[in-house]
Structure 1
Amino acid sequence: MGKKKESLEEMKGEALRRQDNLAADIDELLDRINPVNAIQRWKNEATDSAKSFFVADSGAVKPAPVAGLIGGALGLLAITAGAIVLVTRTPKDGDYYDRDYRQK
């Protein structure tokens, strides 16, 4: 009529399995909240995310993101160089420069 009664050995085995599962869950929880492990996990996730942006699953480099990154770096370099030229060629403190940038 219903469930079969378990033997004492079966109940003891079940209790030990549950105890092991609980211990494993506690160990995993402690591992997750440990700051050193959390930092390492975040570092690995960031690295994997960056790799997946630039590298395909086959291991080949994706050309579009790499070209965009190089183009952005070159654009930043051009803007910086232009700003430097503007700042160094602009008259300062009321000085007047002729067209050849010689001081009069």
Structure 2
Amino acid sequence: MSSLALKDARMELKTSKRLKDMLNSAASLAGQDLTAFVLASAEDRAKLVLSEYQSLSLLHQEQIDFMAALTKPAKPTKALKELMSMESLVER
């Protein structure tokens, strides 16, 4: 996290003394104050979690099946044909 970033939001949290002491010790060893350590750690974890949900990992066969599904047009269903034959609301 950039130290030059505008800090315009506040967060408060409650924790156990044991966890706070652990975080303080780790922050000290990392050469950071508690706030910087907690925010950097939370940011790293948030990026990891978000990247897991924003990317798609497929096994080789799954990649082949996925590409086949994308490149082979699906046959329109009866319901789709009926829907497409209806007058468009936009073109009225």
Tell whether the structures are fold-level matches, with TM greater than 0.5. Answer: no
Greater relative contact order (Cα < 8 A, sep 6+): 2
Q: Larger % of helix: which? A: 1
Q: Which has the larger radius of gyration?
A: 1
